[in-house]
Amino acid sequence: MPLNQQIVLDNRPTGEATASNFMLVASDTPELQDGQVLVRHHYLSLDPYMRGRMNDSKNYAAAQPLGQVMIGGTVGEVVESRSPKFQPGDKVVGMGGWQQYSVVDDKQPGALRKVDTTHVPLSHYLGAVGMPGVTAWYGLVKIIEPQAGQTVVISAATGAVGSAFAALARARGCRTVGIAGGPDKCRYAVDELGFDACIDYKLHQDAASLSMAIKVACPKGIDGYFENVGGMVLNAVLPLMNDFGRIAVCGMIAGYDGEPTPITHPALILRSRLKVQGFIVAEHMEVWPDALTELGLLVGSGKLRPRETVAHGLEAAPEAFLGLLKGKNFGKQLVKLI
């Protein structure tokens, strides 16, 4: 069995996460037991939710244990199997974590899933046709519930979730507006992802200024908002929400370092009779088949062309993750392991 390099959480961050919170270690891969498979990871997914797991505080899921492999989605290939459900050579997606190999028990529900790479590249199963894509689908379809002609807005518009959101909203006849950081990302959002407009939040010092810019792009107001950021961006959007608007709260990256992200005028929620709903996509496995089918068709037909930022080598994962938290990635952030 091969030697396995792993990145573990060595200590918890105080304020901003740093590379010193992680440690690169090596361990022997255990011999397979009946019903187990050995997976060699090709790509590792980096996602903002991982920052919340690093804290030892109340969250929607258990904290990342110290001294154990960092949680994370992976895609790869079965290299050895003692399970009748998997054969060597099968391409699979799972939650193998920040390591080169994982041993998976086939009796664990949903732990490993075969994927077809005929029309969808393997790496996309960690992005557009994976958890981020389903996240966009659930927030849009189940919470925002858009109607043709309505205006929907998303923050972090050029990330893995935002990219899928644009294609899904366009398919439903919506005016789709993004909020992103920097002119290059905003051009990409409009020219390649198909957003009707994209607002560069970095040009604005406060919520009032940003709100004025968003209003120009949304002359009929906002019917649905997909929240990934919080803070100034949320405070800029709230005054523009139409009556009975819907807000799907997926992330609050502005507060992941422990800083509070207050809502300046919470009375707007009452005044406009808004529905504000947080969600965790892993709690809605019943929608995954429908969502993945639509997302796969969008990618296969070229209507969704997701962009990826790829770091190389397991040792690059911590710095790539820290860059993701600061918006340095362009599209889905991955680590290529082979």
- Model confidence pLDDT, tens digit, residues 61-71: 788 999 999 99
Say yes or no: 146 and 110 in one domain.
no
Say yes or no: 89 and 26 in one domain.
yes
pLDDT of residue 258 exceeding 70:
no
168-188: string of b/e by CB count within 10 Å (b at 16+)? Answer: bbbebebbbbbbbbeeebbeb
Looking at the 3D structure of the chain, how many domains does it have? Answer: 2
**288-300 vs 160-171: helix crossing angle, rounded to 10:** 90
Classify burial at 283, counting beta carbons within 10 Å of its beta carbon; exposed 0-12, middle 13-18, buried 19 or more: exposed
Q: Give strand pairing partners of 81.
A: 37
Q: 4-18, 58-72, 181-195, 315-329: which range is least confident on average? A: 58-72
Mean pLDDT of the chain: 94
Range 304-322 average pLDDT = 95
Looking at residue 254, its pLDDT comes to 74
User: What residues contact 63, with CB distance under 8 A and at least 6 apart?
Assistant: 53, 54, 55, 56, 57
Residue-number span of the structural domain to which 193 is assigned: 131-282
* More confident site: 59 or 38: 38
Looking at residue 42, its pLDDT comes to 98
The distance in angstroms from the start CA to the end CA of the chain is 17
Range 269-294 average pLDDT = 95
* More confident site: 257 or 46: 46
Q: Of 249, 266, 282, which residue is a domain's last? A: 282
Say yes or no: 316 and 227 in one domain.
no
| Residues 261, 94: Cα–Cα separation, whole Å | 33
Say yes or no: 15 and 135 in one domain.
no
Say yes or no: 149 and 260 in one domain.
yes
In a domain? residue 293? no
Percent of the chain at pLDDT > 70 equals 99
Say yes or no: 200 and 100 in one domain.
no
| Residues 95, 113: Cα–Cα separation, whole Å | 10
Say yes or no: 149 and 224 in one domain.
yes
Looking at residue 70, its pLDDT comes to 97
Range 214-237 average pLDDT = 96
In a domain? residue 294? no
Say yes or no: 82 and 178 in one domain.
no
Q: Would you place residue 256 in the very low, low, confident or very high pLDDT band (cuts 50, 70, 90)?
A: low
Please give the model's pTM, rounded to 2 decimal places: 0.89
Say yes or no: 237 and 270 in one domain.
yes
In a domain? residue 272? yes
| Residues 243, 191: Cα–Cα separation, whole Å | 31
| Residues 283, 271: Cα–Cα separation, whole Å | 30
pLDDT of residue 297 exceeding 70:
yes
Say yes or no: 135 and 42 in one domain.
no
In a domain? residue 296? no
